[in-house]
Amino acid sequence: MDIKILGSGCANCDNLEKAAREAVESLGIDATFDHVTDPGEIASWGVMRTPALVVDDEVVMSGRVPTVQTVKELLEHGR
């Protein structure tokens, strides 16, 4: 699974990445992570509010920091 965190590197972006990593570990998923901070690349995803979570090239959430449980549900849906 390929996971991208889109955002400037702010605290919310870091919290989203932390929640995503915890969810991946909890589910036992093999995943790679990338943190995209370039505003042009973020905009190319159609994201207007960060942080955003991209799973296997699909934006699954943006504009908020979800709980670990919510990320787990998003990841399970994508499998």
* 34 catalytic residue (yes or no): no
The residue annotated as part of the active site, out of 2, 10, 39, 78, is: 10
Of the residues 3, 13, 52, 55, only one is catalytic, namely 13
Reading the block at residue 57, the tokens are: 């090239």
The yes-or-no answer on residue 14 being catalytic is no
For residue 51, is the peptide bond before it cis, meaning its omega torsion is within 30 degrees of 0?
A: yes
State how far the Cα of 7 lies from the Cα of 51, in Å rounded to an integer.
5
Q: Which residues are catalytic?
A: 10, 13
